[in-house]
Amino acid sequence: MDLSRYISKKESSKLVANQRLNIIFASSEVAPFSKSGGLGDVASALPRALAQRGHNVVIVTPLYGHLDSEQMRLSRRLQPLEVPRKSKQQSKVEATLWETRLNHGVRIVFVEAEEYFGRQGLYGYDDQAFEDNADRFAFFSRAVVEFTRSFALPVDVLHCNDWHTGLAPIYAKHYFDEEFQDTSIVMTIHNLAYQGKFDASEFDATGLPQKYADTSELFDEDGNVNYLKGGLQYADHLTTVSPGYADEIQTEAGGFGLHEILQNRSDDLVGILNGADYTVWAPDVDRHISVRYDIDSLNGKRRNKAELQHRMGLPIRPTLPLLGVISRLTEQKGIDVLVPTIRTLLSDLEDERDGFQLVILGEGPPQFRDALQELAESFPTRVVFQPGYDEAMAHRIQAGSDVLVVPSRFEPCGLTQIYAMRYGTVPVVHSTGGLADTVSDLREDPEKGTGFVCQELTEDALAGAIERASAAYRNYRKWRPLMVRAMERDFSWHESARSYESLFTSLHQQEQAAE
Ligand code: ADP
């Protein structure tokens, strides 16, 4: 991994905001060091955008086994971090802290604890979740709190992300309420489907006193310990990653059992749309693609398409629309609807010149992999499936495809469709959550539409949207303006970072007023 371009070259950030805040951003993944999905991208881009606005931001994240502190030239802190572990035989674990400064002055601190993180995989390996995840992320949450306490400056905001940090607000409030009086604890939900649920017998991993085992705060109705549920009740403020998703998660259908808690906290919950990091995800700077391009050099996109077709072993057919899918393979992502839809569409073709080609990049369990593999085998000149996680290929698909299909059942924000637009790759999406917030349908709004939206996730509706996209592609006079419009949409972090900043500043002012 070449990390040189991420490491700071001594930049000074001017204070854009009125008040410079000290923010600790805790995340279980941070691109490019560790990433399983959108959280990793957000955890690198949002801190940077806040630092660009003049804030002092420190990211805290685990040092996983695939990360080499020497190769990354990290500096080791002389003082280890003592993390109490009441649940263990030992009373504390000494974690080594490693740090470096990233672009725009963001500092990143890696927590090294061999027994928890010194292995391959973030949350599991080979489709199997690690058995000690309850322990691992209780430890991480506690490490975040101890790090915050040890911070040399008063911490204004402790920003926790997803269930992996769900226990941090509880630890802070239970053990150190006074110390955290002036620190606002914000919890962001990146995906409510993942809550960190464990068998009740794992409660000991939290190290919390018995009283927490006797209330419903940390337990689901079905008796499981639920880390996110705890965090959502103890954090001072909640955010999620799109306004649409903020509404959805307060409904029974979208709340994954937590809708009532979220309804009760609706005054403290706000949806702020994720942004795109255009220093990484833009066709004029992308380091992974062979021909860079922009609105004025769209020919470059054609060359990326031909290269992608060639690399994937598809016939090089400029006139056929090339569809791309870049996805974790899970129930959420609608792969079970996509596969039969594509099969029907391609089976019905009457002419070689009709239809489309499709490349799919996806990591996930055998049930989805096998279905996609079979689909590819049925249509060898039309469909290619590349299993696994491949960052460079994700970029090449963005640049080389004409259309990106995102048929998610629900989608908190979704980044791939946002990135796609910048590459002139027109999205086909299901109207849900952040997909509905970011893509407007061409038929609904011929002047401003940026993609094709299916209102419900059925085979018919998805097929209709794909067919509309394929037909539009064949009319370049119509297609080109659509591409250009998509490329001109600005989803940079600038606006979103301002929204986080306003939230953080108002929370900080409330803390000060309360004193
Ligand atoms: P989620 O967080 O639910 O996975 P998002 O759309 O928010 O979905 O973010 C997905 C991120 O993960 C994007 O950066 C996308 O390029 C990347 N990604 C998803 N699957 C793969 C894969 N198999 N290989 C490489 N990158 C992937």
Claim to verify: residue 339 and residue 376 sit in the same structural domain:
yes
Ligand 1 within 6 A of CB of 407: no
pTM: predicted TM-score of the whole model, two decimal places? 0.93
In a domain, 284, yes or no: no
Predicted confidence (pLDDT) at residue 212 exceeds the cutoff of 90: yes
Cα separation, 462 vs 440, whole angstroms: 15
In a domain, 5, yes or no: no
Going from the Cα of 382 to the center of ligand 1, the distance in angstroms, rounded, reads 23
Q: Output the 3-class SS for 290-337.
A: CCCCCHHHCHHHHHHHHHHHHHHCCCCCCCCCEEEEEEECCHHHCHHH
Predicted confidence (pLDDT) at residue 190 exceeds the cutoff of 70: yes
Q: What is the pLDDT of residue 136?
A: 98
Claim to verify: residue 407 and residue 425 sit in the same structural domain:
yes
Encoded tokens for 494:
């600038």
- In this predicted model, what pLDDT tens digit does every residue of 372-394 receive, in sequence order? 999 999 999 999 999 999 999 99
Helices (H), 103-219: 114-117, 133-150, 168-176
Run of H or E including 186? strand 184-189
Longest dimension (CA), the chain: 74
Number of neighbours of residue 3 by Cβ within 10 angstroms: 15
Q: What is the pLDDT of residue 13?
A: 44
Q: What is the mean pLDDT of residues 471-483?
A: 96
Do residues 326 and 416 lie in contact, with contact meaning Cβ atoms separated by under 8 Å? yes
- In this predicted model, what pLDDT tens digit does every residue of 82-97 receive, in sequence order? 999 876 666 899 999 9
Predicted confidence (pLDDT) at residue 15 exceeds the cutoff of 60: no
DSSP-derived 3-state class of residue 76: strand
In a domain, 6, yes or no: no
Claim to verify: residue 96 and residue 194 sit in the same structural domain:
yes
Q: What is the mean pLDDT of the chain?
A: 94
Predicted confidence (pLDDT) at residue 11 exceeds the cutoff of 50: no
Distances (CA, A) of 47 to 89, 102, 144, 296, 506: 36, 10, 16, 32, 18
Q: Kindly indicate the confidence band of residue 2, based on its pLDDT and cuts at 50, 70 and 90.
A: low
In a domain, 12, yes or no: no
Question: What amino acid occupies position 22?
Answer: N
Q: Kindly indicate the confidence band of residue 514, based on its pLDDT and cuts at 50, 70 and 90.
A: confident
Task: Return the closest-CA partner of residue 439 out of 463, 465, 458.
Answer: 465
Cα separation, 410 vs 430, whole angstroms: 8
Predicted confidence (pLDDT) at residue 1 exceeds the cutoff of 80: no
Q: Kindly indicate the confidence band of residue 10, based on its pLDDT and cuts at 50, 70 and 90.
A: very low
Encoded tokens for 374:
């079979």
Ligand 1: which residue has its CA nearest to atom 24? Answer: 389
Predicted confidence (pLDDT) at residue 199 exceeds the cutoff of 60: yes
pLDDT > 70 in the chain, percent: 96
Going from the Cα of 45 to the center of ligand 1, the distance in angstroms, rounded, reads 15
Cα separation, 427 vs 450, whole angstroms: 8
Do residues 317 and 357 lie in contact, with contact meaning Cβ atoms separated by under 8 Å? yes
Q: Which atom of ligand 1 is nearest to the CA of 388?
A: 23
Strand extents, DSSP E, 81-135: 81-84, 92-101, 107-112, 124-125, 128-129
- In this predicted model, what pLDDT tens digit does every residue of 30-50 receive, in sequence order? 999 999 999 999 999 999 999
Predicted confidence (pLDDT) at residue 513 exceeds the cutoff of 90: no
Encoded tokens for 77:
């802190």
Ligand 1 within 6 A of CB of 394: yes
Question: Dihedral, CA atoms, 248, 144, 52, 187, nearest 10 degrees?
Answer: 20
Claim to verify: residue 86 and residue 229 sit in the same structural domain:
yes
DSSP-derived 3-state class of residue 189: strand
Claim to verify: residue 402 and residue 507 sit in the same structural domain:
no
Helices (H), 333-378: 335-347, 366-378
Q: What is the pLDDT of residue 144?
A: 98
Helices (H), 118-238: 133-150, 168-176, 227-234
Claim to verify: residue 305 and residue 224 sit in the same structural domain:
no
Claim to verify: residue 181 and residue 130 sit in the same structural domain:
yes
Ligand 1 within 6 A of CB of 363: yes
In a domain, 1, yes or no: no
Claim to verify: residue 388 and residue 305 sit in the same structural domain:
yes
- In this predicted model, what pLDDT tens digit does every residue of 113-123 receive, in sequence order? 999 999 999 99
Claim to verify: residue 133 and residue 122 sit in the same structural domain:
yes
Count of domains forming the chain: 2
Going from the Cα of 40 to the center of ligand 1, the distance in angstroms, rounded, reads 9
Q: Which atom of ligand 1 is nearest to the CA of 416?
A: 6
Q: What is the pLDDT of residue 7?
A: 57
Q: Kindly indicate the confidence band of residue 214, based on its pLDDT and cuts at 50, 70 and 90.
A: confident
DSSP-derived 3-state class of residue 380: coil
Claim to verify: residue 383 and residue 360 sit in the same structural domain:
yes
In a domain, 398, yes or no: yes
Q: Kindly indicate the confidence band of residue 8, based on its pLDDT and cuts at 50, 70 and 90.
A: low
Going from the Cα of 404 to the center of ligand 1, the distance in angstroms, rounded, reads 13
Q: Kindly indicate the confidence band of residue 231, based on its pLDDT and cuts at 50, 70 and 90.
A: very high
Query: Which residue has 């391009």 as its token pair?
Result: 293
Q: What is the mean pLDDT of residues 207-219?
A: 90
Q: What is the pLDDT of residue 216?
A: 86
Task: Return the closest-CA partner of residue 405 out of 301, 313, 326.
Answer: 326
Cα separation, 274 vs 338, whole angstroms: 25
Q: What is the pLDDT of residue 138?
A: 97
Query: Rounded to 5 degrees, what are φ and ψ at 423?
Result: -90, 5
- In this predicted model, what pLDDT tens digit does every residue of 343-353 receive, in sequence order? 999 998 999 89
State which residues form the domain around 361.
295-491
Q: Which atom of ligand 1 is nearest to the CA of 434?
A: 7
Cα separation, 158 vs 184, whole angstroms: 6
In a domain, 361, yes or no: yes
Ligand 1 within 6 A of CB of 244: no
Q: Are strands 357-363 and 383-387 parallel, antiparallel or unpaired?
A: parallel
Strand extents, DSSP E, 349-408: 357-363, 383-387, 403-406
- In this predicted model, what pLDDT tens digit does every residue of 430-460 receive, in sequence order? 999 999 999 999 999 999 999 999 999 999 9
Do residues 60 and 144 lie in contact, with contact meaning Cβ atoms separated by under 8 Å? yes
Q: What is the mean pLDDT of residues 322-328?
A: 98
Cα separation, 207 vs 498, whole angstroms: 37
Claim to verify: residue 433 and residue 464 sit in the same structural domain:
yes
Q: Which atom of ligand 1 is nearest to the CA of 42?
A: 7
Q: Which CATH number belongs to the domain containing residue 430 in this structure?
A: 3.40.50.2000
- In this predicted model, what pLDDT tens digit does every residue of 121-136 receive, in sequence order? 999 998 899 999 999 9
Claim to verify: residue 207 and residue 238 sit in the same structural domain:
yes
Going from the Cα of 313 to the center of ligand 1, the distance in angstroms, rounded, reads 23
Encoded tokens for 359:
């490349």
In a domain, 408, yes or no: yes
